[in-house]
Amino acid sequence: MDNITASELAGFGVGALLLCATIAAPKVDAFISASQRSSLGMCKRCGNLRMIACSRCKGVGLIKEGGVFGLNLIDDFYESVGGSDSKVRSISCTNCNARGHFSCPDCSKTSV
Ligand SMILES: [Zn+2]
Ligand SMILES: [Zn+2]
């Protein structure tokens, strides 16, 4: 596993944090009553993060080869296109367009 760079590790950490926050949000939210929530203007979906971590890439935006099932075909495609960079093969997450998160649909609905 010595082919994992520090930046990738950091990215994973951020992704994990995002995911944790997304998972924790509803639980934290359960302690806040609906009236409080509305008065505070908090989003009940994302807890005011305004984003939801991508469940497919764990918020990293990239998928490592072998990390996700059934991506061998796509990976081969990217390898043939990318060419030289085959040491750590990671592909952009197609679920979130490599952003690692989505904007919260609830927050985007109620435009501030
Ligand atoms: Zn993703
Ligand atoms: Zn939201």
* Cα angle, residue 101 at apex, residues 35 and 56 outer, rounded to 5°: 115
Residue 110 lies inside a defined structural domain of this protein:
no
pTM of the full structure: 0.42
Residue 108 lies inside a defined structural domain of this protein:
no
81: tokens are: 């296109």
Residue 107 lies inside a defined structural domain of this protein:
no
Tens-digit pLDDT profile for residues 65-98: 654 454 455 555 555 555 444 455 788 999 999 9
Number of domains in the chain: 1
Cα(20)–Cα(88) distance, integer angstroms: 26
End-to-end CA distance of the chain: 45
Q: Domain range spanning residue 24?
A: 6-101
Name the closest ligand to CA 51: 2
Cα(74)–Cα(55) distance, integer angstroms: 19
Tens-digit pLDDT profile for residues 22-66: 766 665 555 555 555 556 677 877 888 888 899 888 899 988 765
CA of 11 to the centre of ligand 2 (A): 22
